[in-house]
Structure 1
Amino acid sequence: MTSNLVPDSEYTGLLAVLPVKLRALALLARLDRPVGWWLLFWPCIFGLALAGGVVQRWDLALWMLLGAVAMRGAGCVYNDIIDRDLDAQVSRTALRPLPSGMISVRAAWVFLTGLCAIGLLVLIQLRWEAQIVAVGSMFLVAAYPFMKRITWWPQLWLGLVFSWGALVGWVAITGQGNAAMYWLYAGTICWVVGYDTIYAMQDREDDALVGIRSSALRLGGKIRVGVACFYILTIIGWGMAIWSVRPEKQALVALVPVAFHLAMQVTSLKADGSNALGHFRSNRVAGLLAALAFLVVGAASQY
């Protein structure tokens, strides 16, 4: 299975013509793999949209997009600094800039500081309540790289981190939390656990050899069942969030497209993980479908 995996760093497109050092920084921040910042950005839109503010505050949505790109990059840089020795032992990640020697650890820390400065610029665009919520994620972000060493469910911790934007987006519009926001957060956490379990299928052999833990290893031969359960919980959580905003059965119909998409992911997922990367990447579309559902419901709730 390992030999068929797509390498973690690919020198294609614009990256192929960049100077070596700039290319290393771009790869370090995963700018060659935009799916990561899309998956960080969508929860922000979920919160803005369900709160009914994404149209009026389209400028805030753009700021959050910039923040998602910068902070996803910062998270990747930090994760690679912590995991550089482990990455060197995994075939898919051995070519990353730090384990391969393309860039020094010191340069990585400097780059990380710059990305965080961009994040700070985005932070000051938010109302103060949302700023406090956003800063509250820092502990979760800092602890994430260590979770794969101490728990079989680092994907759950990633869910707490990658779903945080739903809280920030909601509070940025409303100034406070409520049941809808917490249901939205819970459903999004389950979505992240599901798709990141699919992603982790690629590394099962190497992870087992070097002692890295993951939900893909924990679930063993029941990965499809496990992912299906998390996706069902996703739709339940999102459905409860919608119901909390607009308690009408027809409002739940907005979730049918994304529910169908997630169901197709599960039914077509191969047990050997040979199509895991494509299924993981398809969650960009799942995020878009969910965002449209929350946009429709959130806009309708304003009338």
Structure 2
Amino acid sequence: MTTTSQEIVPDSEHKGLVGRLPQPLRGLALLARFDRPIGWWLLFWPGAWAVALAGGAIARWDLILWILAGSIAMRGAGCVYNDIVDRDLDAQVARTRSRPIPSGQVSIGLAWGWLVALCLVGLVVLMQLHGLAIGVALASLAPVAAYPFMKRITWWPQAWLGLVFSWAALVGWSEVAGDLSAPMWLLYAGSIAWVIGYDTIYALQDREDDALIGVRSSALRMGTHVRGGTAAFYAAAVALWGAALWSVRPDPLALAALLPVAGHLAWQVATLRPDDGAGALQRFRSNRFAGLLMVLACLVVGSA
């Protein structure tokens, strides 16, 4: 039994594959956003950057794979939790009303059970870490739990998402380097600015619905200055990443390693059209490539 592409959320990247899954597996896959891998790529990249910049990309290749597994599981868990909390709001937004909970594909009880199962996978990943990194990873639970409520109380929920989606940088660095030194914090801060930038682009798709139902976002707050605001956050990200790389290797060549990712982010801003939802989604998704360019820069500097 298959489902039509219209029954699956509009921004799914794998409508055919997900549509062939039987219920309730289809609903669970959609609830965890397995059809949209961009989310776990964006959660994974900061952890990979940190491992590479700390010089552990070769010796700790297994850690990179564990971070990837943890990113897939915990991004899924975060999406399930977010959809449980936001089920009433999702039902009022055109892009999200077809999600599994508001559309009735998955019950609240089943959603909670799925959340527990995904968290157990995250626990297995946690057990691969050592003392300091375990503590750092567990400290993420409070900001993760608070995130779904931020859009109700602040115009900048993207900033809170930046805190959460950049957390793997803290885990990766503390596991490899065994400390919480300056390069880690600079890398983390740069990642937060990057997340604010790309999630502002993503939020452009929902500006009209968000304004009608009272949901806040940086895309609404920036108004007509959304391109300039996104450019400013991307510029801050590159500057902070440059400081992180310089603190590891004070050499102009280290900064040159950032030119590809800086160029890619500049392309996103230069070609962004705030009233083009499809184009905004494409530029948002292109950040998986930005993450790859950044990990290559960290690999070059961290391995030198």
TM-score class, shorter-chain normalisation, is: over 0.9
Two-structure CA RMSD over aligned residues (Å) = 1.0
Name 1:200's counterpart in structure 2.
Answer: 203
Are the aligned partners of 1:9 and 1:96 in contact in 2 as well (CA < 8 Å)?
A: no
Name 2:250's counterpart in structure 1.
Answer: 247
CA distance in 2, matches of 1:112, 1:182: 30
Per-residue CA distance 1:221-250 (angstroms, 9 max, x = gap): 000000000000000110000011001111
Counterparts in 2 of 1:95 and 1:55: CA distance versus 1, 3 Å: same
Q: Percent identity?
A: 64
Number of aligned residue pairs: give it. Answer: 295
Per-residue CA distance 1:152-189 (angstroms, 9 max, x = gap): 00000000000000010000101111111110000000
CA distance in 1, matches of 2:37, 2:12: 12
Name 1:215's counterpart in structure 2.
Answer: 218
CA distance in 1, matches of 2:247, 2:148: 34
Are the aligned partners of 2:13 and 2:36 in contact in 1 as well (CA < 8 Å)?
A: no
Are the aligned partners of 2:41 and 2:288 in contact in 1 as well (CA < 8 Å)?
A: yes
Name which of 273, 294, 299 aligns with 1:295: 299
Are the aligned partners of 2:32 and 2:77 in contact in 1 as well (CA < 8 Å)?
A: yes
Structure 1 residues without counterparts, runs of 5 or longer? 1-5
- Counterpart code for 2:34: L
CA distance in 2, matches of 1:226, 1:62: 34
TM-score, normalised with respect to structure 2: 0.96
CA distance in 2, matches of 1:10, 1:89: 23
Structure 2 residues without counterparts, runs of 5 or longer? 1-8
Q: How does 1:1-303 map to 2 (within 5 A)?
A: 7-9=10-12, 12-274=15-277, 275-300=279-304
- Counterpart code for 2:293: L
CA distance in 2, matches of 1:45, 1:199: 23
CA distance in 2, matches of 1:161, 1:266: 24
TM-score, normalised with respect to structure 1: 0.96
Name 1:3's counterpart in structure 2.
Answer: none
Per-residue CA distance 1:277-299 (angstroms, 9 max, x = gap): 00000000000000100011000
Structure 1 runs, 4 residues or longer, greater than 2 Å off:
8-11
CA distance in 2, matches of 1:127, 1:298: 21
Counterparts in 2 of 1:10 and 1:21: CA distance versus 1, 3 Å: farther
CA distance in 2, matches of 1:15, 1:250: 45
Are the aligned partners of 2:14 and 2:36 in contact in 1 as well (CA < 8 Å)?
A: no
Higher relative contact order (CA 8 A, sep 6+): 1
- Counterpart code for 2:37: P
